[in-house]
Chain A
Amino acid sequence: MTEVKRAVLAEAIEDDKAVAGVRGMRGRLARTIAGYGEAVEAEGHAESFCRELRQSLREQRKQMQLDQKTLAERLDMTQSAISKIESGEGDFGVKTLFRYAHALGLRPVFTYMAASSATASEAERAMEEIQVELVKDTFHKVSSAMAGLARTLK
């Protein structure tokens, strides 16, 4: 049993009666319909991805020692809306992600890799490569600007 399937099962046991009922139906359909299990698993990964994004936003905010109230003021939102973004469930908008990051003075950067190889360590390595590229790009821009400035001063 995959990690996602175990997580789905564990949630079904702990959750509310109605949710457990819907998840029971999903489990039955996944067992009996070819191809549906794959869709369930992919959707589980998508849910995890959203959860990780939310968590990363919360961590970035905490690293900057900002509380939810201050961030809410920056975004003209309520504190409960910020709380919902950070700890809500399911899908949330790309614009929301961008606005939140922007309010922290950040810009989200994305990359893609084969789903089969998307382990945490590989994702980390990919992010390191992006960071190196960004540093190179920044160095190049600063060097060009300085060369331009030097030419002007001459």
Chain B
Amino acid sequence: MRINDYEFIDPQGSEVGADVEGLGRSHPWRLERLTRCVEDFVQQDTELSCRVLAEEVEIFLVPPRAVLAHIPDAAVLVRVDHANRRIDLIHLVPQYGGYEERAQWEAMIVLAHQVINRESGR
């Protein structure tokens, strides 16, 4: 599904927004690579992206897991709310990939479920 006409919510003022700014201060080049990946993500079909959770609200890992497994880098969980046609960042991982990847991936799934359950009051 194409999401390029959805609204992207700037995380300014939120917890993840503070994390993004912190990453920008400590590792500006890493943040810029991540921002480029988010830019690519919103332009491509979501079927080609790395889906963590598929519900009414979908959650994706950006950049994709296959890329991060080989080149550890910053990553972000991105929520795509189809009903409201909105995209936002929900969790930043300053360093994803390498030996810890499998454990990190499992943590991403748990976190994605927590976010969805918290919002739907489950």
Do A and B assemble together?
A: yes
Chain B, residues 35-48, CB within 8 Å of chain A (1/0): the string is: 11011101100000
Asked whether A26 and B35 contact (CB < 8 A) given A18-B8, A32-B21, A36-B24, the answer is: yes
Answer yes or no: B28 CB below 8 A from chain A CBs.
yes
Answer yes or no: A6 CB below 8 A from chain B CBs.
no
**Chain B CB within 10 A, most for which of A16, A21, A24, A43:** A21
Closest to B32 in A: A39
On chain B, the residues within 8 Å of A20 by CB distance are: 8
- Interface set, chain A 17-71, CB cutoff 8 A to B: 17-26, 28-29, 32-36, 38-40, 42-43
- A19 x B31 contact (CB < 8 A): no
User: CA of A16 to CA of B21 in the docked complex: distance in angstroms?
Assistant: 24
Answer yes or no: B7 CB below 8 A from chain A CBs.
yes
- A18 x B10 contact (CB < 8 A): no
The prevalent SS among residues of B at the interface is helix
- A43 x B32 contact (CB < 8 A): yes
Closest to B5 in A: A17
- Interface set, chain B 9-52, CB cutoff 8 A to A: 9-12, 20-21, 24-25, 28-29, 31-33, 35-36, 38-40, 42-43
User: CA of A21 to CA of B31 in the docked complex: distance in angstroms?
Assistant: 16
On chain B, the residues within 8 Å of A19 by CB distance are: 4, 8, 39, 42-43
Which 10 A/B pairs are nearest by Cβ-Cβ distance? A21-B8, A18-B42, A16-B4, A39-B32, A36-B28, A33-B24, A39-B28, A35-B28, A39-B29, A25-B10
Known contacts A24-B8, A33-B25, A89-B40; 6 additional CB pairs below 8 A are A18-B42, A18-B87, A21-B8, A21-B42, A26-B32, A29-B21
29 contacts between A and B (CB under 8 A): A16-B43, A17-B7, A18-B3, A18-B4, A18-B5, A18-B42, A18-B87, A19-B4, A19-B8, A21-B7, A21-B8, A21-B9, A21-B42, A22-B38, A22-B39, A24-B8, A25-B11, A28-B10, A28-B12, A29-B35, A32-B21, A33-B21, A33-B24, A33-B25, A39-B28, A39-B29, A39-B32, A40-B32, A90-B36
